[in-house]
Structure 1
Amino acid sequence: MYFLGIDLGTSSVKIILMSDSGSVVSSVSKEYPVYYPEPGWAEQNPEDWWNATKNGINELISKSGVKSGDIKGIGLSGQMHGLVLLDRDNNVITPAILWCDQRTQEECDYIIEKIGKEGLLKYTGNKALTGFTAPKILWVRKHLKDVYSRIAHILLPKDYIRFKLTGDYATEVSDASGTLLFDVSNRRWSKDMIDAFDIPENALPKCYESTDVTGYVTKEAADLTGLEEGTIVVGGGGDQASGAVGTGTVKSGIVSVALGTSGVVFASQDKYAADEELRLHSFCHANGKWHVMGVMLSAASCLKWWVDNVNNYSNEAMTFDGLLGEAEKAQPGSDGLVFLPYLMGERTPYSDPYAKGSFVGLSITHNRGHMTRSILEGVAFGLRDSLELIKDLNIPVNEVRVSGGGAKSKLWRQILADIFNVRIDMINATEGPSFGAAIMASVGYGLYKDVDEACSKLIKVTDSVYPIQENVEKYNKLYPVYVSLYSKLKGTFEEIAKLS
């Protein structure tokens, strides 16, 4: 038997076919465009998502040779926080507003002014950020009155695919946690937030746990995709929760670090606990528990910027491996050179769109190897910011599982181990959120009793890097210097923003 995992990303949908033994037998990816109609806006056409998904499923079934009747369940993952609006006839009535859209700062300010930080902490456990869903709804009400009057159903991106597959209006707890309309502690829609901002409650979808069956593939969807009519579709999860399932980050003590374009530090919690300063996100996890996570906006993208934008203008183009080889020759601490990884502003622990990337401490003795190494260290320090907040919530950190493009560098993994002072693990699973979605489908079908059991059987550690005590001591002295720099430069960052 087989299980389908669908991850609806920002630039493409990735679909995998997982066997009951946990091996990925086939996968496919289909791209679609993002539209930027105004500065700071980001939109997509939900029909593009569906066309890519149905075509991808057809292709996957065809090239795998697997019979559709042997696919026993489907799990969904996807980009969080987006807003999809349908009318009574199920027509999409405005382009989907994405997680990275920045148009809603006034709405966020209004939310904070009306209920305050204490209200947000009590009702949702999260800060009002421009990426979240509730401010988008308020923006539509203010600026698109005709569209707002026609709203019959409010969905998140992956849940539009669910609707197209099953005809059901449904979501699940991990993705709903990122709407700012969800009572994360009690795993249900927040009546307080809905009433405070007069959101049409009857337009919100029914909310399930991530492994619950939310519907079944309809005949129409089966004809379009090649799937079997009646195949179960489970709740699934937001991309971060699904990715955590895909790395086995489902037990207290295991922390995952996604070292991709952005950086995410994710920790599972057995009991709900939110950061009182709202610097961390507090969401429901896909395994019936909770999780916290910190997000830095520029992680591996800092190294990509250094390679592509700075070091590839000569006749001898530099590669990642070439630059990392130079960095390996530099001593830990880069001889006092510190890099601040704020190339796109920052989110955790500083919600600051004006923060700028910086090299601090340059001297005549520094070379390119020092600068490359300081970038790796600066990103690791930025990730440690989130790790320290997680520790402040008394969440144990016994091992860190790292994934993403940056994790391919053993040097970067060693730097993480030394700066975190904890073992850094690589695992056998590399498909991320789509793999987590397929695991949830297998649990919903009944192959495993729960997500934790499935992860323990399917996901194994393949390589580990341990802290080097001498390096740990050096980095523990340098980290307070790194932390102090933001507060010292914050005003300067704002002045630079005004000038530019």
Structure 2
Amino acid sequence: MENQEPIFFVGVDVGTASVRAGLYSLASKSFRKTAILPITVHKATVNVRNADRTRTELISQSSTEIWDAVCRTVRDVSVGVDERQIRGIGFDATCSLVVVGPGDAPMNVDGLLKSDGTGEEGIGSCLDIIMWMDHRAKKETEYINQKLADHPCLKFVGGQVSLEMEIPKLLWLKTHCPDIFHGASRFMDLCDFLSWKASGDTSRSMCSVVCKWLYQADPRQLTTHGWDRTIFSAIGLEELCQENFAKIGTDIRVPGGKDQLVTVSEKGSSELGLTFGTPVGTSLIDAHAGGLALAFCGDGKNVTDWSTRLALICGTSTCYMQCNREPVFVPGVWGPYYSAMVPQAWLNEAGQSAAGQFLDHIVKTHPFYLSNLKALGMSACYNHLNQRAVEISQASQMEDTGFLSNQLHVFPDYHGNRSPLSNPDFTGMIVGLTLDGESELSLVKLYLAAMQGLAYESRWIIESLQNNNIRIGDLAICGGLANNPLFVKTLADVVGMPVLLPFIKESVMLGAAILGATASGALGGLEESAAVMAGSGSAVQPAEKSQLYHKARYHVFRKMADFQLSLLDN
């Protein structure tokens, strides 16, 4: 066994602000080396050309910059390893829309809009990606939901299309940038774009098209299977039906499925530094890759049952991923999506539109942070706030640190509500402010209340799933907030369930590596590969002493949501 040739797999994760690559060693069942490079998020506010001259924030990226970072990080982690020992590569990425122009060149999605809205020149470099967090297509989303109100496809997206999905963005392009819409050679989800750049294969992942493009995957035939022409005709995107849907994908493949093998092309080999013919896994959206790794992560005691595991992938936003063997429809929750994460399983996906981004905002805008903590950096700042929260609560002889937030309540939907209301008009709320708004104590209390607000929304989402007969045994968490022990403890206390922390911290990148391993066939199918590679973790247990406290505060949280709903209805 000691003389067996080493086997490695590469996982590439393209997040909102960075590209990460990792070289997974089958021998050590861990990442031998990882690399990370930042990528740019471009923001510009423009006057969109319409009757009311609406001011719209455009949030875009460059696929050229991203692919360059992918190639550099893959080469970095592969240094010192015989490239023939790298048996497969997998990709994941944010669910962002990439516009590919004639000759496979990038096509500037914001090039027709200047800051004064008159058009002509581009914004910065060639920005051919409309990001997932870009909300420019709000009116188009409302129009689509109105036109499809009676169409069965909406059942599979929680009752309505989200403005974070790709179809509203495409309608926005057709309306405001028709030259780009009609001139593009293809539209791709970013994860599919990466697989295409590596292999030259234009197939699309079932994950991306089912979750973000209204592709109908339903072996029970509850609705039309495949691309549904009636959807595109109803919303004014009938051009996408041309040439057997060539611009949005004629070949749809299941991640981890038994489809025809896709491999690294000669061009991809030159750019990535991998052997020509290296298997390339069918890609996943980033949260789904993290969900895959977390679903199969063990607790060291029991056999993992992915059907009772709720996976939380925490970043700028938080995604909640839960798979079932049967389809379950939950209002305000995306899905059920067939074969979007685990083959032949049905995925329900909930989320918070702002999570890590929200907590950063709460801290960074407080006067005490600006005058005393800014120089620390955010990681050290959170460590300081956690320590001070413990010290202050102990000095006050409080039984639990979380009790320090008493009388202060924060509702965290600063960027709309993704679940369970699916309402982009929701905003944040703070109740209990006093004239002491500049001290360290006021920041610590606000920080604690903000974390609790995120946890209360997690409880709200979990109750929505449970009320529809979805059984949840525990939570598993990865991403930025998973590195904050006070948040993890707060989450466990609020939801009253164990929260599993995987020993392999890079869960999203690990999910991508599992896709590469599955493509290679070295470990079997996707479930077999995930079972070998996902590893195990340690569970944080809920504290009984805080249950009544959080139950009372959760009641206030729900009243805050009801109050805002009443305001929006007027």
Q: Same fold (TM over 0.5)?
A: yes
Deviation at 1:35, TM superposition (A): 2.4
Q: 1:71 aligns with which of 86, 93, 104?
A: 86
2: distance between equivalents of 1:225 and 1:364?
A: 57
Name the stretch that deviates more: 155-164 or 468-477: 468-477
For 2:349, the aligned partner's letter is M
Change (3 A) 1:234 1:192: farther
Query: Percent of counterpart pairs with the same letter?
Result: 21
Matched, 1:380 2:425: no
- 1:166 is aligned, of 199, 212, 215, to 199
Q: Deviations over 1:302-326 (max 9, x none)?
A: 4323433213233476832232234
Residues 190-213 of structure 1 deviation map (CA, whole Å, 9 limit, x = unaligned): 444245441231222211011245
Secondary structure of 1:349's counterpart equals coil
Shift, 1:133, TM fit: 0.9
State the 1:49 CA deviation.
Answer: 2.0
Query: For residue 382 of structure 2, what is the aligned residue in structure 1?
Result: 320
In the alignment, which residue of structure 1 is the partner of 2:409? 338
CA offset at residue 354 of structure 1? 4.2
- Cα pair distance change 1:419/1:83, threshold 3 Å: same
Is residue 356–residue 493 contact of structure 1 (8 Å, CA) maintained in 2? no
Offset of residue 364 of structure 1: 8.7
42-51 or 350-359, larger mean C-alpha shift = 350-359
The 8 Å contact of residues 428 and 460 in structure 1, kept in 2 or not, is answered as: yes
Q: Is the 8 A contact 1:126 1:281 kept in 2?
A: no
In the alignment of these two chains, the number of paired residues is: 491
Does residue 74 of structure 2 align to residue 41 of structure 1?
A: no
Question: What secondary structure, in the 3-state scheme, does the structure 1 residue paired with 2:365 have?
Answer: helix
Partner of residue 67, structure 2? 50
SS at match of 1:142: helix
| Kept in 2: contact 1:280–1:386 (CA 8 A) | no
> Where does residue 193 of structure 1 map in the other structure?
231
Alignment deviations for residues 376-402 of structure 1 (CA, whole Å, 9 cap, x no partner): 211100111211122123111111112
Mark the CA change 1:166 to 1:178 in structure 2 (over 3 Å): closer, same or farther: same
Pair 1:493–1:12, CA change in 2 (3 A)? same
Please say if residues 341 and 347 of structure 2, whose CA atoms lie closer than 8 Å, have aligned partners that are also in contact. no
Match of 1:211 among 215, 234, 256: 256
Query: What is the DSSP-based 3-state SS (H/G/I as helix, E as strand, rest coil) of the residue aligned with 1:189?
Result: coil
Aligned equivalents of 1:32, 1:219: Cα separation in 2: 26
Q: After TM superposition, list the pairs within 5 Å mapping 1:280-295 onto structure 2.
A: 280-284=334-338, 285-288=340-343, 289-295=345-351
- 1:430 aligned partner: 505
Aligned to 1:239: 286
| Residue 264 in structure 1 maps to residue 302 in structure 2 | no
Structure 2 counterparts to residues 16-415 of structure 1, below 5 A: 16-21=22-27, 22-37=29-44, 38=46, 39-62=56-79, 65-87=80-102, 89-94=103-108, 95-116=128-149, 118-122=151-155, 127-186=160-219, 188-196=226-234, 197-198=237-238, 199-200=240-241, 201-205=245-249, 206-212=251-257, 214-248=261-295, 251-275=306-330, 277-284=331-338, 285-288=340-343, 289-310=345-366, 311-315=368-372, 319-328=381-390, 329=393, 331=400, 332-333=402-403, 334-362=405-433, 367-368=441-442, 369-415=444-490
1:335/1:143 CA distance change after superposition, 3 Å: closer
Pair 410,221 (structure 1): closer, same or farther in 2 beyond 3 Å = closer
Please give the alpha-carbon distance, in whole angstroms, between the structure 2 residues aligned to 1:455 and 1:204: 29
1:81 touches 1:179 (CA, 8 Å); kept in 2? no
Residue type matched to 2:539 in 1? S
- SS, match of residue 255 in structure 1: strand
Secondary structure of 1:382's counterpart equals helix
- C-alpha separation in 1, matches of 2:168 and 2:352: 21
Shift of 1:221: 1.9
Which residue number in structure 1 is paired with residue 118 of structure 2? none
How far did residue 139 of structure 1 move? 2.0
Evaluate the alpha carbon distance shift between residue 214 and residue 226 of structure 1 in structure 2; reply closer, same or farther with a 3 A threshold. Answer: same
**Aligned letter for 1:189?**
W
| Structure 1 position 132, deviation (Å) | 1.0
Equivalent residues of 2:16, 2:316 under 8 A apart = no
2-structure distance, mates of 1:126, 1:83:
26
1:60, CA displacement in angstroms?
Answer: 2.5
Question: Normalising by structure 1, what TM-score?
Answer: 0.90
3-state DSSP of counterpart to 1:7: strand
SS in 2 for 1:99: coil
Q: C-alpha offsets along residues 73-131 of structure 1, whole Å, 9 cap, x if unaligned?
A: 111111114232333x3223332222122221222122112121654424655622222
RMSD of the TM alignment (CA)? Answer: 2.7
Deviation per CA, 1:260-310: give whole Å up to 9, x if none. 3322222122222222x3344543432212221221123233432343321
- Please state how far the C-alpha of 1:149 moved relative to its aligned partner: 2.7
* CA apart distance, 1:147: 2.6
The answer to whether structure 1 residue 465 and structure 2 residue 480 are counterparts is: no
453-462 or 361-370, which deviates more:
361-370
Equivalent position amino acid for 2:534 in 1: I
Distance (whole Å) between structure 2 residues aligned to residue 29 and residue 386 of structure 1? 32
Distance 1:55 1:256, change over 3 A: same
Stretch of structure 1 that moved more, 25-34 or 66-75? 25-34
Deviations 1:4-32 (A, max 9, x none): 11112232221111122431111222233
Change (3 A) 1:53 1:459: closer
Q: Distance in 2 between matches of 1:298 and 1:91?
A: 33
